[in-house]
């Protein structure tokens, strides 16, 4: 959370609602977790079904990831 995860989570949640990401095919689901492990890469996000890890996230990087879905 100290690395800005809270701001990223709020941004992701807002985009899910405004862009109806959960209703797109194949859909999108998200959950907030505790530490995923690699603290030096915080904030971290993992995307399934590929299992891709993203670290050192910024709002711009998060927007690019969402845009590629």
As a whole number of angstroms, the distance between CA 1 and CA 28 comes to: 23
Distance CA 4, CA 21 (A): 22
> For the whole model, what pTM was predicted?
0.79
More confident residue, 39 or 9: 9
Residue 68's H or E segment, with its range, is none
Q: At what angle do helices 5-18 and 59-67 cross, to 10 degrees?
A: 30
**Mean pLDDT for all residues in the chain:** 86
| Residue 14 banded pLDDT, cuts 50, 70, 90 | very high
Q: How confident is the model at residue 61 (pLDDT cuts 50, 70, 90)?
A: very high
- 25 falls in which pLDDT band (50, 70, 90)? low
């Amino acid at each position: 959370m100290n690395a800005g995860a809270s701001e990223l989570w709020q941004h992701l949640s807002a985009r899910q609602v405004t862009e109806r990401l959960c209703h797109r095919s194949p859909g999108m689901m998200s959950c907030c977790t505790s530490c995923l492990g690699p603290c030096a890469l915080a904030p971290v996000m993992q995307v399934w079904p590929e299992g891709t890890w993203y670290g050192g996230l910024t709002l711009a990087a998060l927007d690019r990831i969402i845009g590629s879905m």
